Structure 1
Amino acid sequence: MMNQLKHKVAVVTGVSRLDGIGAAICKELAEAGYDIFFTYWTEYDKEMPWGVDQREQIQLQEELLKNGVKVSSMELDLTQNDAPKELINKVTEQLGYPHILINNAAYSTNNDFSNLTAEELDKHYMVNIRATTLLSSQFARGFDKQSGGRIGEPKDAARLIKFLVSEEAEWITGQVIHSEGGFKR
């Protein structure tokens, strides 16, 4: 599988902690041969119980590089209007146009439901909905410029099924997965 992924670029947002989901995604993809570009936002992490340890981004980069892949990162505030374009441009400049985008960044709050504020909801919407949608849209614009497309084949569906029944997919349940090869509607 690693040969299939060699020199493909994966972008993962929201990678701030070595023990977080974003770092785990980066590690799995790097082990599979993807070049990795990840983002983090320390201002947000300062507000969270886990705080900020900026050495963790460097430690993660060093760990990923041991897989023989290219790795780059940037601090990025996804609430900013130009963040999606800035990110895709930076990735393209440093590693090439990305092949995969993982929208992992999320805004959460330490308040319970009965104490939510409009400001917290606005931050939530800006990162979890607006930024995710705009970044996905910016990412998709580049597909028209990329080569390598092909018509889907029955074996594509069979490989998806093989994965879904494997132990690697044991945590995926009750989902509708659109296996369309990037088909634009």
Structure 2
Amino acid sequence: MSKVALVTGVGRRIGIAAAIAERLGNDGWDIAFNYWQPYDERMPWGRDAESRAELVRRLDRAGVRSLAVEADLEDAGAAEAIFERVGAELGAVGALVLSHAESVDSGLLDTTVESFDRHFAVNTRASWLLIREFGRRFTGEHGSGRVIALTSDHTVGNLPYGASKGALDRITLAAAHELAQLGITANVINPGPVDTGWMGPELIDTMVGLTPLGRLGTPADVANLAGFLCSPEGGWINGQLLYSNGGAK
């Protein structure tokens, strides 16, 4: 039975999700990856037009199959549609990595209801629906299923993002218990400050100064942990919120 991993939020080549997808591909997983270009287009970094093709090329070189699925996770029907397509073209999903996010800075006093609702629809509701769909469809060997969610402890000046990620944590950790009878583990990774092109020089200096190892995290650092958690050797780690942040304070 082939291994199929579904990775969400693969919008940019320098992003965490792309690094995780490539790492899992190098580990022998067939990769389905979700992206939504309109999100990147309205963000400061803009659209990475070559991201999808470049990742497909890298996965081809790894000798695994791949499938790109564009879908707006704000749509409540997206999770089911994604799993339907992945199941039809690659087979049953054995690992689900939730690396998508809506992230627009705003605080307690200036967050709009529209922005708040969008953050929770994408970061929280979509993650729940994806985990639910995964659990309903999982057919793998007991103990082989994996759910991994990427989180953050941002709150100040980042209210809807931080609040929706906090809810995501609870959903994912609940899955470790509620999906136990299926043999699925579920863990959350908090990668701390990772440079994916959104930090300015001043913020980089500040974050480096707060990290004992004297550097920022990289997408590859996060991918290394995700790869381990998806491996047989990582199967005893379950129901954990793991800080993989170089000791950043």
Deviation of 1:178 after TM superposition, in Å, equals 2.5
Indicate the SS of the match to 1:115: coil
Partner of 1:119: 114
Q: Does structure 1 conserve the Cα–Cα contact (< 8 Å) formed by 2:10 and 2:17?
A: yes
Superposition pairs for residues 31-42 of structure 1, below 5 Å? 31-42=26-37
Instruction: Provide TM-score, normalisation by structure 2.
Output: 0.56
Once residues 130 and 141 of structure 1 are traced to their aligned partners in structure 2, the CA distance between those partners, rounded to angstroms, is 16
Determine if the alignment matches structure 1 residue 142 to structure 2 residue 133: no
Superposition pairs for residues 13-32 of structure 1, below 5 Å? 13-32=8-27
Once residues 116 and 16 of structure 1 are traced to their aligned partners in structure 2, the CA distance between those partners, rounded to angstroms, is 25
Equivalent of residue 129 in structure 1, options 124, 128, 153: 124
Instruction: Provide TM-score, normalisation by structure 1.
Output: 0.75
Runs of 4+ in 1 over 3 A off after TM superposition: 110-114
Once residues 41 and 56 of structure 2 are traced to their aligned partners in structure 1, the CA distance between those partners, rounded to angstroms, is 21
Kindly report the root-mean-square deviation, in angstroms, between the aligned alpha carbons of the 2 structures: 1.9
Q: Does structure 1 conserve the Cα–Cα contact (< 8 Å) formed by 2:83 and 2:133?
A: yes
Deviation of 1:56 after TM superposition, in Å, equals 1.3
Higher helix proportion: 1
Opposite residue 118 of structure 2, the aligned amino acid is K
Partner of 2:183: none
The 1:135–1:39 alpha-carbon spacing in structure 2 relative to 1, beyond 3 Å, is same
Superposition pairs for residues 27-106 of structure 1, below 5 Å? 27-106=22-101
Opposite residue 238 of structure 2, the aligned amino acid is H
Deviation of 1:119 after TM superposition, in Å, equals 1.0
Once residues 147 and 27 of structure 1 are traced to their aligned partners in structure 2, the CA distance between those partners, rounded to angstroms, is 22
Structure 1 residues not aligned, in runs of 5+: 1-5, 151-166, 170-176, 180-185
Indicate the SS of the match to 1:106: coil
Opposite residue 122 of structure 1, the aligned amino acid is D
Once residues 65 and 117 of structure 2 are traced to their aligned partners in structure 1, the CA distance between those partners, rounded to angstroms, is 35
Structure 2 residues not aligned, in runs of 5+: 144-220, 226-236, 240-249
Percent identity over the alignment?
37
Opposite residue 135 of structure 1, the aligned amino acid is L
Q: Does structure 1 conserve the Cα–Cα contact (< 8 Å) formed by 2:94 and 2:140?
A: no
Larger mean Cα displacement after TM superposition, 14-23 or 103-112 = 103-112
